[in-house]
Amino acid sequence: MFLERMPPSRASRSRQRWPLVIVANTLPVRRRAGRGGKRRWESAPGGLVSALAPITRRAGGAWVGWSGSAGRAPGPFEHAGITNLPVAVSAAEIEGSYEGVCNRTLWPLYHDAVRQPEYHRHWWRHYVAVNQRFAAAAAAAAARKAIVWVHDYHLQLVPQMLREIRPDVRIGFFLHIPFPPEELFVHLPWRGPILRGLLGADVIGFQTRLAAANFRHLARHLANARGREAHLHVDGRAVEVQAFPISVDFEHIDGVARRPGTASRAAALRSRLGQGRRVFLGVDRLDYTKGIDLRLKAYGEFLANDRRLAKEAVFVQVAVPSRERIAEYQELRRTVEELVGSINGRFGDVGNAAVHYLRRHLPFEELVALYRAADVMLVTPLADGMNLVAKEYVSTRTDDTGALILSEFAGAAPELKAALLVNPHDVSGMTEAMERALHLDAAEGARRMRAMRRVVRRNTVHDWAEAFLGRLRAE
């Protein structure tokens, strides 16, 4: 198969070198139409960027990533105190690597194969080529003995590729999504290259102990790694494999939640949803791992069990569009929209919808106001690396009110044990949890919320980044 040759990115031709290099699929910026139609860069939303941007800025670091558009990459540029080093990705590579291997092979496989993963060799070649280009850009950017921190499932070959070019640098890798057990991982035709790719790092971080244990087991069985617990040995090198649960910027979110403007926005939302109605909320990317369909089904049964509840409660589902060119995502959208329609058709009234469905990205302040307005937050993924929505909700509940219904299969569950934990496949169990949340005794609710807030306050996203980098700096 003919592989398109992309020119080496201008980033890898620049002379400058940085002591800290972050490598992630996308840059911490996105292009937006500004005044007069002129396009300009602005900071990308999201927890990872807000966590890593200050650290990168303080260290005088650079960030290697894709700009979001196909073809030639723009040259290196500064934005908000960080040097961005864009890597070129062609249209064919977006299809084969990002939409193919990343989101139709690895994404479903790593999420308990809740959809059938597809394995195509013509996709894999693109994944290898993209990883090679990122590794070359990182190698060119890193100063002598620099720290290079590689992120997520798009770039699992980069640690080893980078080590081959730059054996002097310290390499960290963090996987933001779950890492599957052996019986699923072994299906992957490229299991060997991926394990070896990851083992090129000095420190490999996972969201949970379970994910770290899955990886250690596979590294020993399939990649000749030796050693116990967190410390593996491969090819005469030490590799540390540990859980570093990611988090949110608790202080910042707590602060936004306490603003008078947020309180009045939350009050306005509540009155528009129907004064005195109990508000259930879901906030997810429109992704089949998030369990939105089963959650809606459970809410439909909750209303069917007691029709009066349709007047006393209301459900708001925010669904952020995602990966819309992929068939499984289009199918999920149809399913969710049919369910919303059927619940509203059956239980709604004129001026009194049972479910409000917002398929869009909300500005952060608006999201915090919604969290403040919600009596019951539903976070019920079938599988999830961590789920930061759960931690964000908890961070906004400054008065210890509100209930969190949380899937046992979210990476956040082992930390947020005080949530009402559910099995998202058990629709009746979820309906019961909704009833329980509605009638939760105020003192018990406050005790649970206090415990969860303590957990998030003690391990913020800043602590997470410091903990990981601390291990990476320790030789």
Which residues are catalytic, by number?
176, 384
Compare residues 185 and 302 and give the one whose CB is closer to ligand G6P.
Answer: 185
| Residue 420 parent element (H or E) | strand 420-422
Distance in Å, CB of 176 to ligand G6P, minimum: 4
Alpha carbon distance 461, 354 (integer Å): 36
Compare residues 12 and 103 and give the one whose CB is closer to ligand G6P.
Answer: 103
Q: Which amino acid is at 34?
A: G
Do the Cβ atoms of 359 and 321 come closer than 8 Å? yes
Extract the tokens encoding 236: 């005469």
Alpha carbon distance 217, 365 (integer Å): 43
> Alpha helix (H) ranges present in 324-441?
327-347, 364-373, 388-396, 427-438
Distance in Å, CB of 435 to ligand G6P, minimum: 31
Q: Which residues contact 386 (CB under 8 A, 6 or more apart)?
A: 176, 207, 245, 246, 410, 411, 412
Q: How crowded is residue 126: how many other Cβ atoms within 10 Å of its Cβ?
A: 26
Distance in Å, CB of 177 to ligand G6P, minimum: 5
Compare residues 30 and 191 and give the one whose CB is closer to ligand G6P.
Answer: 30
Compare residues 24 and 201 and give the one whose CB is closer to ligand G6P.
Answer: 24
Alpha carbon distance 40, 130 (integer Å): 26
Compare residues 174 and 299 and give the one whose CB is closer to ligand G6P.
Answer: 174
Alpha carbon distance 121, 268 (integer Å): 53
3-class DSSP assignment, residue 12: helix
Extract the tokens encoding 114: 């809740």
Q: Which residues bind ligand G6P (CB under 6 A)?
A: 152, 176-177, 322-323
Nearest to ligand G6P by Cβ — which residue? 176
Q: Which amino acid is at 4?
A: E
Do the Cβ atoms of 187 and 117 come closer than 8 Å? yes
Compare residues 52 and 177 and give the one whose CB is closer to ligand G6P.
Answer: 177
Distance in Å, CB of 366 to ligand G6P, minimum: 19
Distance in Å, CB of 209 to ligand G6P, minimum: 19
Do the Cβ atoms of 411 and 207 come closer than 8 Å? yes
Q: What angle do CA 76, 82, 83 make, to 5 degrees?
A: 20
Distance in Å, CB of 351 to ligand G6P, minimum: 35
